[in-house]
Amino acid sequence: MDTKLQQLKDTFEMLPDWEERYRFIIDLGRKLEPLPETAYRDENKVRGCMSQVWLIADEAGDGEQIRFLGDSDAHIVRGLIAVLLMIYSDKSPQEIVDTDIQAIFEELALEQHITANRRNGLHSMVEAIRQLGARRLDASTN
């Protein structure tokens, strides 16, 4: 397990209940790096989310890794984006595609504590990230 994910898991375990975990998730969202104004375009919008969500991918480090940025008009969703960025950012396209997100969500007990609409939106965001990773993987092998 990578360092950011382990820190997230450790923090979740330290917090006494889900009310505190929600506060933590919202706080993570407040700390998201802002998107450039040009990113708020229709092609960067994630479909399937009740809130408005934008995700973009950029090269990180040596150019072999992908760094994700995201934003939403809803506080809790911004926090969920921050959680996903901790899981997926600064990884290679292959690592992104290979990430067992269900196992991570189970470890964090995340899905059973969010509404069905947020769960659907979360899965839409995961799918968008996986597609960005898969496209980069395809481009690098062709």
Tens digit of pLDDT at every position of the chain (142 positions): 688 889 999 999 999 899 999 999 999 999 999 999 999 999 999 998 889 999 999 876 666 899 999 999 999 999 999 999 999 999 999 999 999 999 999 989 888 888 888 899 999 999 999 998 888 888 777 6
Specify the pLDDT at position 61: 61
Selecting among 49, 84, 85, 125, the annotated active-site residue is 49
Specify the pLDDT at position 63: 66
Specify the pLDDT at position 111: 82
Residue 49 bears catalytic tag: yes
Per-residue pLDDT tens digits for 30-45:
999 999 999 999 999 9
What domains lie within the chain, and their CATH numbers? 3-141 (3.90.1010.10)
- Computed from CA positions of residues 77, 11, 108, 125, in that sequence, does the dihedral angle turn out positive or negative? positive
